[in-house]
Structure 1
């Protein structure tokens, strides 16, 4: 019982301030306090009252969340304390369970601890056997493996952080380009609607001008037909008159007929016809503008349709 007090005191010295248990993978932060790596990682992931660097759970000094420093010496102390605790328990005095003798040897092939009697037994006599300190090389190998694994874990974390930053950058680019496409096509849609309204208004104007010129043409043709019909009637009557009546004012009648020239009106003026012919050219120019706009936008977005 007397040996339990120093061990208990040591346990308190190497306990984690967060979980209150023995330190597991102890790490040291900027202020010098030690914590379990897992406990400190979870502590940093917990949202605090304000943004910024996290504060030490003990002294409240700020520290870098990614600046954990592994404390290998403290880890070794924790391991030694665990071995002391295991050796101080009843029934764990290092005696052979079969012969009750002290365990001195280690069989590498069977991975079993042996006493002197077990060492001379037939099943272990031909095996490679070391003294009890054989655990040392294995402990060194374990430590080497731990260091390699921790280094690879840190490399994976660095890769994860780098790739997450890259993904965030790419997502930001996608969002920016999406907004650009939305705004540019909204502008194009507004432009097309304006052109659509302008072309419809122009077509309605052309239609109105055509109908107006048609009405004017009909009135002109009707007037000409009426005047020519009156002359025709007058001449037919003159032709049927007697010689004395026919000769009366015959010169004036013939002069009026010869001086009357038939006007050949056009239903649609040349200017109006040219305006109608220009419509396909306007549509073609609009199509070219749309093509240039889309090509420029695709080039800016590095998009190949």
Structure 2
């Protein structure tokens, strides 16, 4: 039976058109001996051409007229077709090729497709890896068995872990004290750091108090000598004047700085990391000198001509009426600036629509080579620095009425407003200026939510 099928398949192969790969229909034969369907050959035929190239072997043939029908080959094709039908009946129940109506015997690895012998000879599969169906099935059964084995191992491990969580629970119970211990260690670290910070603050306050006491004592002595000079003779007065005058001027030059009750510049470990959990993406409203991303702003040129004006307020498109928010502002290119929030509703305070919004701002002013920080509304903050603050963080906790301004690089608080009685939404507010005469300041920029300041390299990441 197998030999019979091979003979039939060999005969069928000779009865297939080399162009359409189907049984001949009205076959014609050209000079080189190859035959084609009449319609298939006519599509490649040009009457005016003196030389014709065979579609199968590419041999040049001298053809003056279209070939006549090959009657013998047509009859043989009918016989082959009948044998194909008979063979199809004998192989009924086996998968058939939908194109050639032949039993599929091969499997294409690349296309994952079942093929008959004729399909395997087409250009589409000619260069692909083909193997008999039995061999392909054996290989894939092995792969599936390997996957099944891996899944069974994974299933056993998952069941074991599930029983530990549901029953004994050892890994989970062991995890709890580890987590608690880590937080406990962190808490102890912060408590120690808090103790050191408070100790340093107290020592500084004590030193300031001692300096004030000494200064007061010196003032008393100078004042007493100045009062005594009223009763000196002319000669005594002129003789003692230079020493008394120089010493008085020196004491006045040692005037103590204003003491503030708010500690500035003390680093707090992890503060910025915590605030970053509440980072919000801000964009600013329409303004004369904005960047395309609506995050950078400059002072208008008109303010340069009148630096004593109220300034140019820029507000964010976003407003907040609950929760906690945090944003950062890059001020490395602008020496003077103000930033904070504005609101139109506060409890216990009169407000009419014409008076404008209420403001809570941190203000940086430059005088000579130093930078001075003030607040609006005015507070006890009177902070002076030699170096500018490159990036300022603003933390808002609406429900508690808390507004903090932070030095992002030093991870410290510059100033904080507390217990602000908010009743209406608040809006982040920016004032890029006032400009310094003759100095072209750069932009004030809202930092993207995914950027973080690298203190070591003084740049944004």
TM-score normalised by L of structure 1: 0.31
User: Larger RCO: Structure 1 or Structure 2 (Cα < 8 Å, ≥ 6 residues apart)?
Assistant: 2
Flag the structure with larger Rg.
1
Higher fraction of helix: 1
